[in-house]
């Protein structure tokens, strides 16, 4: 009798990018396998040139890592932990919607406090207000603070601009139509760019706070403060280069550098007067960033 082979239909492909954090990756994988039930899933781990950890040995431990393509994709940070069946809940919610949607869930800190999970695009007005500290005066204003929704304690399903890249759920169809993440962004702003292109060309970005995961924010770059500051600044400028032109681009760039100019003496002086070494070091980093400008890779 001729053997018949049935291919397993995958509901969600979970894609995790790992960087120097195989210990967090193992915990992340364990939490997925512990809490995710009721759907068929695969896990794809992409290592971003890690210099530490036994990556190959870790992959042997998990039998869910396959090459089968599912109809949905979950882009998940390696420094996340599931605490309930979040993937199934988001999958069911996605199935109830029409159109093509990016969905993000509620993110929690390690102590279970709420983490900033959504924000507005870095458009002209909030680039100005963030660099001139107006967000501190008007924390709940949609015009002056890109995190205004989180500061208001948003607890309902809401259409937003950006969901944090720690957890991004979308259809494979949409992901492939967008060409995935733009690899010209390294470590930061790739989620913002993906959501920006999705909202411009395909569909909606939705915050789904009816399930939560823990995000051990910044663990993969812990102790690498210059790395973090450098690539945050570079990626922000790259976002401006890609999506804005003419006078608007020039002004946003000027606001960005004015923000650096204001911050470096404030942080240095603040560190000196409070004897806070971390503040002083951040001030030094801001000073270094003033002289850093990435080449424009988005010229047509």
Q: State pLDDT tens for residues 151-174.
A: 998 999 999 999 999 999 999 899
Residue 55 confidence (pLDDT): 59
The CA-CA-CA angle for residues 66, 71, 75, to 5°, reads 70
Joined tokens for residue 104: 């993000």
Count of domains observed in the chain: 2
Whether 100 and 205 map to the same domain: the answer is yes
Whether 158 and 278 map to the same domain: the answer is no
Whether 269 and 153 map to the same domain: the answer is no
E strand intervals along the chain = 12-18, 41-47, 72-77, 80-82, 101-108, 118-119, 158-160, 162-163, 167-171, 204-215
Phi-psi region of 162 (alpha: psi -120 to 50; beta: other; left: phi over 0): beta
- What sign does the dihedral 204-208-213-217 (CA atoms) show? positive
Whether 279 and 195 map to the same domain: the answer is no
Whether 212 and 79 map to the same domain: the answer is yes
Please give the residue range of the domain that contains residue 265. Answer: 244-289
> Which residues are CB-contacts of 84 (< 8 A; sequence separation ≥ 6)?
35, 211, 212
Whether 260 and 207 map to the same domain: the answer is no
Residue 4 confidence (pLDDT): 38
Residue 67 confidence (pLDDT): 41
Mean pLDDT of 234-246: 96
Q: Who has greater pLDDT, 88 or 45?
A: 88
């Amino acid at each position: 009798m001729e053997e018949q082979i049935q291919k397993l239909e995958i509901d969600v492909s979970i894609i995790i990018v790992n960087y120097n954090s195989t210990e967090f990756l193992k915990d992340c994988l364990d939490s997925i396998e512990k809490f995710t039930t009721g759907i068929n899933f695969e896990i794809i781990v992409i290592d971003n040139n890690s210099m530490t950890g036994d990556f190959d040995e870790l992959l042997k431990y998990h039998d869910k890592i396959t090459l089968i393509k599912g109809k949905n994709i979950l882009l998940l940070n390696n420094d996340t932990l599931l605490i309930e069946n979040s993937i199934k809940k988001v999958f069911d919610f996605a199935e109830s919607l029409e159109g093509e949607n990016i969905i993000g869930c509620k993110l929690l800190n390690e102590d279970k406090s709420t983490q900033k999970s959504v924000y507005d695009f870095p458009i002209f007005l909030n680039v100005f207000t963030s660099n001139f500290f107006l967000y501190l005066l008007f924390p709940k204003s949609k015009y002056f603070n890109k995190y205004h929704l989180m500061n208001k304690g948003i607890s309902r399903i809401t259409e937003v601009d950006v969901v944090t890249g720690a957890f991004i759920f979308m259809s494979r169809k949409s992901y492939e139509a967008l060409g995935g993440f733009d690899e010209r962004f390294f470590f930061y702003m790739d989620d913002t760019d993906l959501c920006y292109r999705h909202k411009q060309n395909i569909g909606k970005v939705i915050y789904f706070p009816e399930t939560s995961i823990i995000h051990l924010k910044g663990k993969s770059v812990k102790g690498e403060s210059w790395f973090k500051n450098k690539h945050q600044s570079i990626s922000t400028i790259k976002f401006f280069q890609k999506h804005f032109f003419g006078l608007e681009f020039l002004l946003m760039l000027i606001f960005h550098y004015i923000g650096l100019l204001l911050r470096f003496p404030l942080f240095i002086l603040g560190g000196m007067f409070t004897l806070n070494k971390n503040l002083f070091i951040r001030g030094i980093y801001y000073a270094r960033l003033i002289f850093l400008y990435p080449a424009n890779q988005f010229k047509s």
